[in-house]
């Protein structure tokens, strides 16, 4: 992709009256984005942004042995022999000329030649050094694209990829980290970056007031003809663009969350710094036993580092929108494990964790999210009002795009483009939202919403904030990325689609405990087995093909596993239920369509009471919601104002729901009729209140009516 960059000046530290400003030059070819605020803790920001620099320049790919020194020596020897022959020939020539002409050579000819030769080569070396430091073309070989900065209402965050595209870094700075008034223009842009900027970072001090400035000057003045204005046109590799979509795919996979104490991270990095492994294995093993502290094992030395002060949960608490109550993000745990069983997860490429070394003295806590052995891991370092997220691919040589096709492991094969467009437009207005809030606001089923979010992130329009567990509007490019820019789909997926058209035979399809599902099938005469979690993502698998034998699931499923999964998705047991006819106010609700899973928001203060009432009645939560709504719907709709409606629920309603807009509802996925949700949203729009407030009011009104 050809990408335009236009900058006025260079990023660096500028001296201001009584302090300094760390000024970033924004890309003038993108919409106007700016920020100006004084850092409360400049040293903390200095260490965090320096760690981000370590991610940018990180390149741990294994390269062939460097024989350039030997080749240079051979060339020097050849040149020395050539000079010797030339000197001998020259001496003979001089002797012959002296004999013939009897005219002596100038006495200082050789000395003058060597002096001028030294001047020439000295200037050439200085020119090469200066060119390597400042020339954008050479620098692009180190950094494919300048870091991306996003100014949001609550945070300012920087994103980058490493040179080898195996590491992703994100530094998120809360707006509370700045003193006094702040001037900001919301949006996303690139900022000018250079090797010299790292040296500027090191000049930040706690005793000198420092401002973080994304300078808007270039948007406000005429730049044509100015000496410090420059334009660049670079070709972004498709792998750099696809990497953001793969990060989103990693969020849709089952994960294990582990808290790693700061002292354990110290021990891990210290041992790796002092020892160099000469033989395999080179893995970092997480040993997770319910009720006990996690243990980090360093191979090949067999060194164990206990994570004292934290324990592994016996039964993981699900956090996904379908499995759990919160619905705050796409992370979800696998099925419950056997009591007392130890789970071991291996990750590779551990030396990339050295980027976190400068953050450990400032860290409050470290959280690791593990997708599985050989799969990516995410390390989130919390430093007060700042958070640093380091996402690592399965191993160093396996980048986020070509090595592991994570998007084909998630259940997001048929995303709705129109819903994805609605998601992007909604996030452009609100700037951030959790998965549950998006489900409520857009009225979309969880499966469809997950696929739409995956598509929007793949197109570079949406990013998931791991630390805050919410989705944010972040257009990585000025336009949505098309399939042509992202490149062709993985060959295994293309072949899987072809096999799924008629080459799959299901031998066994059985439901297991915990919502899991085991499938045994033959795809193109190849035997395979799949274990799917409750969201349809591949948890474990087995196949007799050579691709699976070599890679397992570390490089994504093989074509046969994908064909079976696509066949299951396309087969559908009953297909999507038709929308029920909307009932007239006060009339009976049509019941021809079966209820389906829908996101229902609840006020956090009232959810516990509603759940206890459901347990006492030995009824489901969905039944309680529908019964309450049937009793309260006509009474609430007949009110002329929200205050009058609150009076129906009594003092508790006036206390808990007066605000109308509940910004932190608890979302549950329930089998309620779509007509119920349609009526709730219609009443919420009538009173300009949130659906969660209307659900809570209906419960309180129905409770009073039945007393």
Chain segment 399-456, per-residue pLDDT in tens: 665 545 566 665 545 677 888 889 999 999 998 888 888 888 888 887 788 878 888 8
| CA 319 to centroid of chain Cα atoms | 17
Higher pLDDT, 257 or 126: 257
Spatial CB neighbours of 246, under 8 Å, sequence gap ≥ 6: 400, 401, 404, 405, 406, 407
Q: What is the mean pLDDT of the chain?
A: 78
Inter-axis angle of helices 621-637 and 691-706, nearest 10: 90
The CA distance from 521 to 98, in Å, is: 95
The CA distance from 539 to 534, in Å, is: 10
Q: How many Cβ atoms are within 10 Å of 437's Cβ, its own excluded?
A: 24
- pLDDT, average across residues 639-643: 85
Between 55-59, 279-283, 453-457, the lowest mean confidence (pLDDT) is in: 55-59
Does 594 score more than 80 pLDDT?
no
- pLDDT, average across residues 502-528: 87
The CA distance from 244 to 319, in Å, is: 23
Does 265 score more than 90 pLDDT?
yes
Interval 70-91: pLDDT, tens: 888 888 888 888 888 888 888 8
pLDDT at 592: 35
pLDDT at 486: 66
Between 155-169, 661-675, 681-695, the lowest mean confidence (pLDDT) is in: 661-675
pLDDT at 685: 82
- pLDDT, average across residues 491-495: 80
Alpha-carbon separation of residue 196 from 28, 132, 137, 378, 610 (angstroms):
21, 11, 16, 29, 60
Between 228-242, 250-264, 460-474, 673-687, the lowest mean confidence (pLDDT) is in: 228-242
Tokens coding 363: 């860290």
Alpha helices in 67-172 (DSSP H): 68-101, 109-134, 136-139
pLDDT at 218: 64
Higher pLDDT, 373 or 646: 646
What one-character-per-residue DSSP string does 486-549 give? H-PPPHHHHHHHHHHTT-EEEEEEEE-GGG-EEEEEEETTEEEEEEE-TTS-EEEEEE-SHHHH
Tokens 């920001």 map to which residue? Answer: 45
Tokens coding 20: 């300094």
Alpha-carbon separation of residue 353 from 337, 350, 358 (angstroms):
29, 6, 11
Interval 5-56: pLDDT, tens: 778 878 888 887 778 888 888 888 888 888 888 898 888 999 998 888 888 7
Banded model confidence at residue 317, pLDDT cuts 50, 70, 90: very low
pLDDT at 576: 34
The CA distance from 536 to 514, in Å, is: 13
pLDDT at 485: 64
Between 379-388, 591-600, 612-621, the lowest mean confidence (pLDDT) is in: 591-600
Residue 312 DSSP class: B
Does 312 score more than 60 pLDDT?
yes
Inter-axis angle of helices 417-430 and 435-442, nearest 10: 110
The CA distance from 623 to 619, in Å, is: 6
The CA distance from 223 to 629, in Å, is: 62
Tokens coding 438: 């998006």
Q: Please, are residues 689 and 660 in contact by the beta-carbon 8 Å criterion?
A: yes
Radius of gyration of the chain (CA): 31
Q: Please, are residues 367 and 382 in contact by the beta-carbon 8 Å criterion?
A: yes
């Amino acid at each position: 992709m050809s990408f335009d960059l236009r900058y006025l000046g260079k990023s660096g530290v500028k001296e201001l009256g009584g302090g300094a400003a760390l000024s970033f030059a924004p890309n003038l070819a993108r919409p106007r984005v700016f920020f100006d605020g004084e850092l409360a803790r400049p040293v903390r920001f200095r260490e965090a942004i320096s760690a981000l620099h370590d991610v940018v320049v990180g390149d741990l790919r294994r390269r062939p042995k460097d024989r350039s020194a030997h080749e240079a020596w051979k060339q020097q020897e050849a040149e020395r022999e050539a000079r010797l022959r030339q000197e001998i020939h020259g001496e003979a020539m001089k002797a012959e000329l002296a004999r013939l002409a009897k005219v002596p050579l100038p006495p200082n000819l050789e000395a003058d030649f060597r002096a001028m030769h030294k001047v020439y080569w000295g200037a050439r070396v200085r020119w090469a050094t200066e060119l390597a430091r400042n020339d954008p073309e050479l620098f692009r070989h180190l950094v494919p694209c300048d870091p991306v900065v996003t100014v949001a209402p609550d945070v300012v965050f920087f994103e980058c990829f490493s040179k080898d595209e195996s590491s992703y870094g994100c530094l998120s700075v809360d707006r509370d980290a700045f003193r006094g008034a702040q001037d900001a223009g919301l949006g996303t842009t690139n900022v000018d970056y250079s090797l010299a900027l790292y040296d500027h970072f090191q000049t930040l001090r706690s005793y000198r007031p420092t401002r973080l400035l994304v300078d808007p000057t270039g948007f406000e003045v005429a730049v044509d003809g100015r000496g410090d204005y420059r334009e660049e046109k670079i070709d972004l590799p498709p792998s750099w663009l696809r990497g953001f979509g793969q990060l989103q795919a990693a969020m849709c996979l089952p994960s294990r969350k582990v808290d790693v104490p700061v002292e354990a991270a110290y021990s891990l990095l210290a041992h790796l710094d002092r020892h160099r492994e000469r033989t395999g294995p080179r893995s970092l093993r997480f040993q997770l036993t319910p009720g006990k502290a996690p243990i980090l094992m360093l191979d090949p030395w067999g060194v164990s580092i206990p994570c004292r002060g934290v324990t592994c949960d016996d039964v993981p608490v699900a956090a996904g929108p379908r499995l759990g109550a919160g619905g705050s993000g796409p992370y979800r745990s696998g099925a419950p494990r056997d009591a007392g069983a130890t789970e071991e997860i291996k990750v590779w490429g551990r030396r990339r964790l050295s980027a976190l070394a400068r953050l450990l003295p400032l860290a409050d806590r470290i959280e690791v999210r593990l997708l599985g052995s050989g799969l990516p891991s995410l390390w989130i370092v919390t430093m007060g009002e700042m958070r640093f997220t380091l996402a690592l691919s399965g191993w160093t040589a396996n980048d986020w795009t070509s090595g592991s096709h994570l998007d084909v492991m998630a259940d997001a094969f048929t995303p709705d483009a129109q819903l994805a467009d609605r998601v992007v437009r909604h996030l452009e207005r609100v700037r951030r939202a959790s998965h549950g809030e998006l489900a409520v606001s857009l009225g979309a089923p969880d499966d469809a919403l997950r696929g739409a979010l995956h598509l929007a992130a793949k197109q570079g329009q949406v990013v998931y904030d791991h630390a805050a567990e919410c989705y944010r509007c972040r257009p990585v490019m000025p336009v949505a990325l098309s399939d042509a820019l992202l490149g062709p789909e993985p060959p295994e997926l293309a072949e899987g689609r072809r096999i799924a058209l008629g080459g799959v035979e299901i031998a066994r399809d059985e439901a297991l405990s915990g919502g899991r599902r085991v499938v045994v099938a033959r795809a193109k005469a190849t035997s395979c087995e799949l274990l799917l979690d409750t969201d349809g993502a591949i948890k474990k698998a087995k196949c007799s093909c050579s691709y699976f034998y070599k890679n397992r699931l570390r490089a994504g499923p093989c074509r046969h596993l994908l064909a079976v999964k696509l066949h299951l998705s396309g087969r559908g047991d009953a297909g999507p239920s038709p929308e029920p006819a909307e009932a007239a106010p006060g009339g009976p609700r049509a019941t021809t369509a079966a209820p389906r899973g829908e996101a229902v928001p609840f006020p956090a203060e009232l959810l516990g009471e509603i759940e206890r009432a459901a347990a006492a009645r030995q009824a489901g939560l969905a039944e309680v919601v529908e019964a309450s709504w049937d009793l309260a719907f006509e009474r609430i709709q007949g009110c002329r104002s929200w205050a009058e409606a609150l009076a129906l629920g009594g003092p508790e309603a006036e206390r808990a729901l007066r605000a109308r807009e509940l910004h932190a509802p608890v979302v549950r996925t329930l089998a309620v009729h779509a007509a119920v949700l349609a009526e709730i949203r219609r009443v919420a729009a009538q009173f300009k209140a949130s659906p969660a407030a209307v659900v809570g009011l209906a419960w309180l009104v129905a409770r009073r009516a039945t007393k």
